Structure 1
């Protein structure tokens, strides 16, 4: 549905570093960077645009698709290494459905960042 999502971050340098490291296991890289901000994208998925703001933004929940459960695990490790705070270790979330495997971290601006694989184990 979305082509891109754009939102402000109060510490641009910290958010840039966090999202690049945390989303690297999911294949997300810099698509474009300019003075106005940075656009991150993966293959065939909507892009995420971060722009600097003077205001502390309202908290968001951003869920990123993972191809497999190993990517979810790698995302969680990378996000914690990048300074994220654990908000749910990798694992099944059967309250959503039987194959909902996800991990959650809180990013620099308090956003709840999730990686999720909804496919059954091969």
Structure 2
């Protein structure tokens, strides 16, 4: 696979998840996204946008559901991590900030050789993941 050009626009501009309590979601996402190098970029009454330089991830109060949020059955968001230690720190930060584990940190060879990840559910049940690439077993 070739590396994308630095000037090429990403395929996805941003992703949003619905939350029922913006403050509670902010506590959770402030904690887990800081670990992968993101921060609050902007806020408005119905949402908090996170990123490194542009708000690529949003926690929003849903407009159309009158405060009721149904977490996505198959949808989830995966954040890139620098290394396995960052994946572990992401998982620990999420647990400490009110989320719950949906898969402890570890290798996931069933996904791809060298895939290392951890999975969380935020306080509203949204699925989030942090992953990095590690040396593959057959590379050793």
Rounded Cα–Cα distance in structure 1 between residues aligned with 2:116 and 2:33 = 16
- Give the superposition deviation at 1:56: 1.3
Q: What is aligned with 2:6? A: none
Asked if the contact 2:105–2:117 (Cα under 8 Å) also holds between the matched residues in 1, the reply is: yes
Pair 80,40 (structure 1): closer, same or farther in 2 beyond 3 Å? same
Say if 2:132 is the partner of 1:117.
yes
Match of 1:9 among 13, 19, 25: 19
**TM-score under structure 2 length normalisation:** 0.78
Question: Deviations along 1:49-83, whole A, 9 cap, x unmatched?
Answer: 12213121332311111111111011011011101
Q: What is aligned with 1:24? A: 34
Say if 2:73 is the partner of 1:63.
no
Q: What is aligned with 1:50? A: 59
5+ long unaligned stretches in structure 2: 1-10
Match of 2:23, SS? Answer: helix
Asked if the contact 1:10–1:57 (Cα under 8 Å) also holds between the matched residues in 2, the reply is: no
Question: Deviations along 1:14-62, whole A, 9 cap, x unmatched?
Answer: 111111111111011011112231110025x871112213121332311
Match of 2:15, SS? Answer: strand
Matched residue pairs, number?
120
Rounded Cα–Cα distance in structure 1 between residues aligned with 2:16 and 2:89 = 25
Greater share of strand: 1
Asked if the contact 1:5–1:46 (Cα under 8 Å) also holds between the matched residues in 2, the reply is: no
Rounded Cα–Cα distance in structure 1 between residues aligned with 2:55 and 2:133 = 18
**TM-score under structure 1 length normalisation:** 0.88
